[in-house]
Chain A
Amino acid sequence: MNKSDLVNLLSKDLKWSKAKTERVLDAFLGLVSEIVLKKKKLNLFKFGVFTIKHRASRSGRNPKTGEELILPPKDYVHFKPSKSLVDLING
């Protein structure tokens, strides 16, 4: 399912026009990503927590050529679903 499908379903739920729904959804996603990038943590109530986690540099190996490498450190976005969302999915 991609964004346009989601917009179609949401517009039916909300009884809004598709254009409006898409605009609001875009704003929502933009806001989430911006806050996550800026503040490194965002708690969306009943939805989950977005955090940015750090992965330290490590030594690795290229399996193709057998070279040994030192890989640089890395940040990544982690999402932990809230309990209510997990309950909804399992229920």
Chain B
Amino acid sequence: MRKGEFLKLLAKRADISYEEAVLFYEKLLDRFAKVLKSGQAIKISGFGEFKRKLNKAKKIVDPRTGMEKNIPAKFVVKFYPAKILSEKVNIKYKTLKPVVTRLNPPVMEAKSEDEFNLTFFEAGERQPIVMGFIDETLLAQESSSSQQEKPIEVFEVEKSITERNLTATAEDYFVLPDVSFGEEIDSKVDVEVPVFEVFEAERKPEDEFLKFDIPSLSDINELKINFEEVEMPEFNLSEEPQEKRTESVKKLFDDTQQKKEEGEMSFNYEEESRRGVGPWILIFVVFLIFVGGVIFLLNQYGYIHLWGEKKGVSKVEFKEPEEVVVTTPSLPKVEEKASADTVEVKRPELVSKPKAPEVVKPSVGKNYVIQVASFQDRKLAETFASNLRKKGYNAFVEKAFVEWKGGNWYRVRIGFFDSIEQAKKIAERLKRTEKIEKVWVSEAPRTVTK
């Protein structure tokens, strides 16, 4: 496969232009080399692992010239395929499994020769040696005759042997104690000894062991499997139904088929997305309406002001007509200084500079106040008042509860004036300078102050 073909396939598969594919390939190569040079391994799950490996320096002899050559150490790249990839590669050998040709024979431990440690039953191990003294014909007869009767074996023990080795051997256990060797020296002694079941049991496994035949080399050769005859499963990579695959095996890499697949896939995605989005849009619209209503109501009640007439500084909630007092012509002034008023007397001086010297006379009966504005928000009221205070008016905030207007109102007032005329003069000036549309002059007791 050439460079162009591969990159074209890549561009189609990834849905990018050919130039982008070329760029991607170059950058990928650079990055691969950089990462491998730094000593890191690149492990991509589902594909494999690229690792840097050091080939050691070595010496070789050139057979032509007979000169020694040094080959320097060198880094090479090793690729270890991932398990999934190697399974895909080995898919036709999937059914094959290792065949056991020979089982490992069980390890036999050699018994110790120490006779002193032998018990009576273990002495049976040495029976094969004893067998040498027995007529085999007799043995065969007895074993064949009947096992129900007590099998009796005849032992022929040479006297000479017994004389020489009187130390305890396995044979001695079979000799009956009654027989004395001294009386019959030259004659052979026939001793009848019952053979215990232990010895019978010992023979059987031996026979079986002998029957166990080890497979010969020729058998092994026959065992070899002809792997070619084993059915190979279909080479199915793309997980398509097999009927389709048989029709278009060669078209796997055709562009037309890929295009179709992509088209179908994208169409499905669109459908699914449309289905999913519908109810969400409804919910979102309902939520928007709800939020809009809340904002509208808040604006209506004046908690926030986003549109309409500005409620801030310029818009003023005016005092209810009930409280407006149309003051009657000036009341008789009493020139008495109330002891309680001493602290507050200074205020009118500060308030209006021009009239401060004149307004020193506090009245006992009534005080007059100019109401400039009223707010439902305390902060707004206080800022408004502080603005006025900077300009030289003695402004203050008064809290009032008005039931029919819905809650607390903060009234910004300027005060206190002893006579209504003073108040009216300042009110007119306020109208001119501060451009406040409506100003009320009202009567108020001094104790109301903050």
Query: How far, in Å, is A31 (CB) from chain B's closest CB?
Result: 6
- B181 contacts across to A, CB distance below 8 A: none
> In the complex the two chains form, is B252's CB within 8 Å of A37's CB?
no
- A20 contacts across to B, CB distance below 8 A: 16
> In the complex the two chains form, is B1's CB within 8 Å of A86's CB?
no
> In the complex the two chains form, is B74's CB within 8 Å of A67's CB?
no
A69 to B76, CA, bound (A): 34
Which B residues between 28 and 61 are near A, CB-CB below 8 angstroms? 28-33, 35-37, 40-48, 50, 52
> In the complex the two chains form, is B104's CB within 8 Å of A31's CB?
no
A73 to B349, CA, bound (A): 113
Which B residues between 85 and 139 are near A, CB-CB below 8 angstroms? 85-86, 88-90, 93, 96-104
A44 to B79, CA, bound (A): 14
Partner of A69, one of B27, B32, B101: B101
Report which residue of A14, A70, A74, A78 has the largest number of chain B beta carbons within 10 angstroms of its beta carbon: A70
Is residue B75 within 8 Å, beta carbon to beta carbon, of the partner chain?
Answer: yes
- B79 contacts across to A, CB distance below 8 A: 50, 77-79
> In the complex the two chains form, is A28's CB within 8 Å of B28's CB?
yes
- A3 contacts across to B, CB distance below 8 A: 44-45
Given A1-B43, A29-B47, A38-B252, answer yes or no on A79-B24 (Cβ-Cβ < 8 Å): no
In the complex, how many residue pairs between chain A and chain B have their CB atoms under 8 Å apart? 150
> In the complex the two chains form, is A72's CB within 8 Å of B102's CB?
no
Given A2-B44, A47-B29, answer yes or no on A31-B93 (Cβ-Cβ < 8 Å): no
Given A3-B44, A24-B24, A28-B28, answer yes or no on A75-B89 (Cβ-Cβ < 8 Å): yes
- B304 contacts across to A, CB distance below 8 A: none
Q: Kindly report which residue of chain A lies nearest to residue B93, judged by CB atoms.
A: A72
- A81 contacts across to B, CB distance below 8 A: 76-77
* Chain B interface residue bracket vs A: 35 or more
Given A24-B16, A28-B28, A85-B33, answer yes or no on A76-B86 (Cβ-Cβ < 8 Å): yes
Given A27-B14, A70-B101, answer yes or no on A76-B237 (Cβ-Cβ < 8 Å): no
Query: How far, in Å, is A42 (CB) from chain B's closest CB?
Result: 6
A57 to B370, CA, bound (A): 111
A90 to B413, CA, bound (A): 89
A23 to B12, CA, bound (A): 12
Query: How far, in Å, is B405 (CB) from chain A's closest CB?
Result: 59
Query: How far, in Å, is A6 (CB) from chain B's closest CB?
Result: 6
- B253 contacts across to A, CB distance below 8 A: 35, 38
- B99 contacts across to A, CB distance below 8 A: 69-70
Query: How far, in Å, is B143 (CB) from chain A's closest CB?
Result: 37
> In the complex the two chains form, is B88's CB within 8 Å of A37's CB?
yes
Is residue B203 within 8 Å, beta carbon to beta carbon, of the partner chain?
Answer: no
Q: Kindly report which residue of chain A lies nearest to residue B35, judged by CB atoms.
A: A1
Query: How far, in Å, is A1 (CB) from chain B's closest CB?
Result: 5
Q: Which of B2-10, B321-329, B429-437, B439-447 contacts A (4 or more CB under 8 A)?
A: B2-10
- A74 contacts across to B, CB distance below 8 A: 90, 93
Q: Can you sample 15 A-B contacts with CB below 8 Å? A: A10-B24, A14-B27, A24-B14, A28-B24, A33-B88, A38-B252, A52-B89, A67-B103, A70-B99, A72-B227, A73-B93, A75-B89, A79-B77, A81-B76, A88-B33
Which of B's residues lie within 8 Å of A, judged by CB?
Answer: 1, 3, 6, 9-10, 13-16, 20-21, 23-24, 27-33, 35-37, 40-48, 50, 52, 74-79, 81, 85-86, 88-90, 93, 96-104, 223-225, 227, 235, 237, 252-253
Closest 5 CB pairs of A and B: A79-B79, A72-B96, A66-B104, A27-B14, A88-B33
Known contacts A67-B103, A79-B48, then 18 further A-B pairs from the complex at CB < 8 Å, ordered by chain A residue = A1-B43, A3-B44, A10-B27, A14-B24, A24-B16, A24-B20, A29-B46, A31-B9, A31-B13, A37-B235, A46-B29, A72-B227, A74-B90, A77-B81, A79-B78, A85-B29, A86-B74, A89-B36
